[in-house]
Structure 1
Amino acid sequence: MHLNNKQKQHLKGLAHPLKPVVMLGNHGLTEGVLAEIEQTLEHHELIKVKIAAEDRETKTLIADAIVRETGACNVQVIGNTLILYRPSKERKINIPR
């Protein structure tokens, strides 16, 4: 799924008041963390993930791996926070076309 700029702006506005629901620790991206992200995306559709990585390259690699493994859309990365969107079977969020 690809989001256009209008859709991303809408989702950024919806994500602004959200708190990170999944936080990556010292062990990095594990199977358990990926399973938690999958489950949370299915329930909420729009989530924030906190990535504890020192350098930008590592953070980008982790974010890309999460997007690839979950099939979610990367809405935005701000600092150490990744905003993900993936529609569930019963849509909860209406995004503009």
Structure 2
Amino acid sequence: MITSKQRSYLRSIANTIQPIFQVGKGGIEENFLKQIDGALEAREIIKVAVLNNSGLTAREASDIICEELQCEGIQAIGNKLVLYRRSKKKPKIELP
């Protein structure tokens, strides 16, 4: 679990990055989760866009992904969500 200060720091980092994944009408499937898992290991923080035809809100998608991958949902605003998980091999982001 991360603190509100750490969450705020991660939000400031995520402010400048672009979404690298989209949740579409196919929803959240096993292959999609594997790709997000690999991206979290490599980058530690990612942004995901949720399309209108997915049938999910950003908060619902964040909850599902975080439950499956044991990551932290940092932010869910509009149709975008930010996920964080500390890398097991090479941590890059130093939390305050």
SS of residue matched to 1:93: coil
Residue 43 of structure 1: CA displacement?
0.4
2:63 corresponds in structure 1 to 64
1:25 aligned partner: 24
3-state SS, counterpart of residue 67 of structure 1 = helix
1:95 to 2:84 alignment: no
- Structure 1 runs (4+) deviating above 4 angstroms are none
Q: Hey, what does 2:37 align to over in structure 1?
A: 38
Per the normalisation by structure 2, the TM-score is 0.90
Percent identity between matched residues is 34
RMSD (Å) for aligned C-alpha atoms: 1.7
| Aligned residue pairs, count | 94
TM-score, with length taken from structure 1: 0.89
What SS does the aligned partner of 1:58 have? coil
The whole-number CA distance in structure 2 between the counterparts of 1:53 and 1:35 is: 22
Structure 1 segments unaligned to the other structure (5+ residues): none
Aligned-partner residue type, residue 11 of structure 1? L
Q: Deviations over 1:52-97 (max 9, x none)?
A: 2469x9323322110000111010101111100000022100011x
Q: Structure 2, unaligned stretches of length 5 or more?
A: none
